[in-house]
Structure 1
Amino acid sequence: MTFRSLRIRLLAPLVVCSLLAAVGVAAASYGLAERWATRDLQARWVGIQRTLSQSNFPLNSAVLRLLAELTQSELVTFASDGEVLQQTIDAPAATLVDLQQDLAASDSASETAAVQTLKLPDRRYLAYRFETRNPSLRSDRVGSVLILFDESLLRDARRRAAILPLATGLSTIVALASITLVVTERMVRRIAALQRRVELVAAGDFESSVSDNNGDELGRLGAAVEAMARQLKQLWATVHRQEGQKLLHQIAGGMAHQLRNSLAGARMAIELHADECGQSNDEGVQVAIGQIEQAEDYVRRLLMVASGRQDKDQPADAMTCLQDVRTSLSPIARHLNVNVGWDLESQIATHRVKDGATLSAAVSNLVLNAMQTADDVQVLATIRNQQWLHVSVSDNGPGVAEELIDQLFEPFVTSKPEGLGLGLPVVSRAAEHLDGRVVWMRRGDRTVFDFYARIVS
């Protein structure tokens, strides 16, 4: 009710003042139009009088009707003895004769032109009269002419003059009322949105936004609420990240200790079996050993993370890293029956990245994630502006679940029942470590992850 009363208080004075102004202007226009229309009729009468009183052409029926159409009037001609000669109006001759006599009597008693009203069943006319010069010398015997102007033309002129300002005023009222309603409605929505926003922030929701970038008082208030929400979000994210990293370190330490011995035993068993069977150079054996070596490197890194130490960067050729990932993932792609296309720009062979293992881990995670959700994966690697290695991984899978979009790169966020949610966080950390970034988008029916790493040489 408070918001509605605000609308009424803003709208009612505006509508009342506009309506009074429109009615006043319409009334004034009505009065002025009557005066202007009367003057116009008198000017037309004077023009017709001057033209016909001095003319020598006969005023027969055809000429009279043509003149009536041109002057928007009705004309009646009389002989000197008062006989009706020609007429363009459908009226009794006796009525016209009486009207002509009344006007003749009025003209003789007044110095100005007299005007009478002719009332017919369907309309009314204003009647003027004038006499011709030398009627005895005219072939048509016209001694006087009666000019009749339709009074409805005068009324129409008055109405048109009044309708225009009235319509303008009413349309202005509608426009102003609409604008006022829109403005007040927007103001009410903004106030209500601010109220809901504050309630959501108080409940722990820092994501919703109400800032409309307006510079007025409500806009500045909304910006202050947004700033407060961002600060609270940052504080909450910092606390959450610290807790997640602490838990991740604990998991990393425990997993690394369990996996190190198992991986060492698996590698020794594969190498012993290959030697006994004489298949040391077999492609499958080499791929298996390569995967175990890669896993051992991951375990080593996990142990260092758990102990709070940082591994030393080892610059590597970008092409070598990408080809190693391609080789190691090819058997997995064949096993999963996934088509993986690799398009590696030849220019990549002349560039290096800050840490080869970090690049390999990031690309490997992106491609593995794509293979687990799609049957067609395309990898495109190019050099951008001689500064960035750009690796684009696209797949025809269903894409990222809507509820995971805002926290896709956070640890332990996953839609897979058996997943830990550590793959994409590793990719994000790798991009940061390589002075780059990782972004994703949906292009048509494909999901695309773009990974950027800075070139060091």
Structure 2
Amino acid sequence: MRWPLRYQILIPMVGILVCAIVVVTFLQAWLATNQIKLQIRDQFRQIAHTLNEATFPLTGAVLNQTKGLSGADFVLVRQDNKVLSSTRPDYLPTAIKQEPPDWNQLQISDVIETGDAHYFHTVVKIQQRVRTDELRYLHIYYPVKAYREALSNAIYPSLLAGSIALIVVAVLATVIAGRVTRPLQRLDRKVAQIAHGDFHPMVLPSRNDEIHDLSISINQMAELLGDFEDEVKRSERLKTLGQLRGAIAHQLRNAVTGCRIALDLYLRKCANSDQDETLQVANRQLCMIEQYLQSFLDNKAGHFCSFAPVCLNEIVERLMSLLEPTARHGGIQLINDSVEEPLTVEGDAESLEQLMSNLVLNAIEATLSVKTEPDSQSLSEAEVRLRLFPSGQESVTLEVTDTGPGPEPAIINKMFEPLVTAKKDGTGLGLFVAREIVENHNGRLHWERRGGQTCFIVELPVYQVENASVEITNR
């Protein structure tokens, strides 16, 4: 059986304190008992001494007065056990078998039963030298009931104080144990939640002690475990992506190659087909798809061994001619607001074209998702805008803006991860590949909402002609 932590703390604490209080209480009771016995003994020693030194005869009246002061009965006898005076005429003391002690050695210990009551009984020698040298004996009878009443009056206050102390200790121990165990139980529940995959931080207690420090440590552990879980999931997705990439890309490349061959044969047979812009766009699209698939097969995945100067304006122009039919088919305006001056970066042309293509296609799909809704926007409001411009002396910026609703809240924090998508027919690879390409070009990719529109922003370093000249000279 497992005891709750509260009881594991409370029981030993209360047990130790109870034992201490019980020991102290019984010690006080024992001391009070001895003190009462000593007081009664000293009282009767003093009475025996007073009667022994008295200059008046010890008559019945004197003994009755002494009884009123002490509460005991007295019987004075001669050596032959003849009663001289007594506070109780019905008492007939037994014959003395051995020499009684003097008054200063008096002890009260023997208990006898006389009539219907019990008494402590003792005998002491009395010798009044003033009137006679005759030796007499004084029998003293002290009621056991009076002794017990005196003892109770001495012990009960100690027992009452001990009982009150026990109650106070139990209450305080319960409060202290609760104050200690409640935060520990919260920490235990939080650790259990972390074990089940809930890595949200817990609310820190207001107290400034070790519990507060432990709560901070648990929150830090939860954050680290959450990051580690995200990294493990990302690694698993990348591993899965790597396993699927080769097989899928190989099959798709064969199909695309077949389409290109069929399209080339058709262009050769039909003399006027070279003037058909639609067929030319389709041919370029197939070429681009084949290049992407070849990159996958070569395990390129956005990592490059060498870069070359690439004019981004030319890539934008090619994409406009390739993707404009797709946008027009969906009733979307594809607008190019790029500057006319050439903007050159150092990188891989195929990958940069794939980067821009992914962002523009995502923008078109996001805008189409709004147009298919019952309360959709008008044709003139649905647009995707490309804007390429210099953002400084050492960087160039590409903005792709659409009138779509933006990413869903559930994937905002992980939409650049592989295989993460909110689209029913999406693969979750477009933004992941785009980010990989941007990072391998020492750039930065982020997004924001601008007045009801979604804007993806790519920042890339500008190709420096001076640095290129220095490198050629050094070679």
Q: TM-score, normalised by structure 1?
A: 0.53
Partners in 2 of 1:447 and 1:326 — Cα distance?
Answer: 19
Residue matched to 2:59 = none
Partners in 2 of 1:308 and 1:370 — Cα distance?
Answer: 21
Residue matched to 1:276 = 269
Partners in 1 of 2:302 and 2:389 — Cα distance?
Answer: 35
Partners in 1 of 2:240 and 2:402 — Cα distance?
Answer: 32
Partners in 2 of 1:293 and 1:388 — Cα distance?
Answer: 30
- Does the CA-based 8 Å contact 1:197-1:210 persist in structure 2? no
Partners in 2 of 1:342 and 1:330 — Cα distance?
Answer: 11
- Does the CA-based 8 Å contact 2:302-2:351 persist in structure 1? no
- Does the CA-based 8 Å contact 1:271-1:280 persist in structure 2? no
Partners in 2 of 1:322 and 1:392 — Cα distance?
Answer: 12
The secondary structure found in structure 2 opposite 1:280 is helix
Structure 2 counterpart of 1:370, one-letter code: A
- Return the offset for 1:338: 0.8
Partners in 1 of 2:215 and 2:230 — Cα distance?
Answer: 22
Partners in 1 of 2:219 and 2:263 — Cα distance?
Answer: 59
Partners in 1 of 2:251 and 2:350 — Cα distance?
Answer: 22
Partners in 2 of 1:215 and 1:391 — Cα distance?
Answer: 51
1:359 to 349, 352, 356: 352
Residue matched to 1:322 = 316
The secondary structure found in structure 1 opposite 2:366 is coil
* Partner deviation per Cα, 1:27-72 (whole Å, 9 max, x = no partner): xxxxxxxxxxxxxxxxxxxxxxxxxxxxxxxxxxxxxxxxxxxxxx
Residue matched to 1:142 = none
Partners in 2 of 1:378 and 1:410 — Cα distance?
Answer: 25
Partners in 2 of 1:353 and 1:216 — Cα distance?
Answer: 56
2:244 to 251, 255, 262: 251
- Show the 5 A alignment for 1:87-106: none
Partners in 1 of 2:461 and 2:256 — Cα distance?
Answer: 33
Change (3 A) 1:416 1:350: closer
Change (3 A) 1:207 1:315: farther
- Show the 5 A alignment for 1:384-403: 384-403=391-410
The secondary structure found in structure 2 opposite 1:323 is helix
- Return the offset for 1:211: 7.4
Does 2:260 match 1:267? yes
Residue matched to 2:64 = none
- Return the offset for 1:252: 1.0
Residue matched to 1:440 = 447
Residue matched to 1:286 = 280
Structure 2 counterpart of 1:295, one-letter code: I
2:340 to 330, 340, 346: 346
2:421 to 404, 414, 417: 414
- Does the CA-based 8 Å contact 2:193-2:199 persist in structure 1? yes
Residue matched to 1:239 = 232
Structure 2 counterpart of 1:446, one-letter code: Q
Structure 2 counterpart of 1:352, one-letter code: V
- Return the offset for 1:368: 0.6
Higher Cα radius of gyration:
2
Partners in 2 of 1:237 and 1:364 — Cα distance?
Answer: 28
The secondary structure found in structure 1 opposite 2:389 is strand
Figure out how many residues of one structure are paired with residues of the other and give that number: 268
The secondary structure found in structure 2 opposite 1:268 is helix
Structure 2 portions without partners, runs of 5+: 1-182, 368-381, 465-475
Change (3 A) 1:211 1:423: farther
Change (3 A) 1:292 1:227: same
Q: TM-score, normalised by structure 2?
A: 0.51
Residue matched to 1:404 = 411
Residue matched to 2:221 = 228
Change (3 A) 1:377 1:433: same
The secondary structure found in structure 2 opposite 1:409 is coil
Residue matched to 1:335 = 329
Alignment RMSD, CA only? Answer: 3.2
Partners in 2 of 1:325 and 1:209 — Cα distance?
Answer: 49
Structure 1 portions without partners, runs of 5+: 1-189
Change (3 A) 1:193 1:329: farther
Change (3 A) 1:285 1:226: same
Change (3 A) 1:454 1:259: same
Identity %: 33
Change (3 A) 1:399 1:272: same
- Return the offset for 1:452: 1.7
- Return the offset for 1:206: 2.9
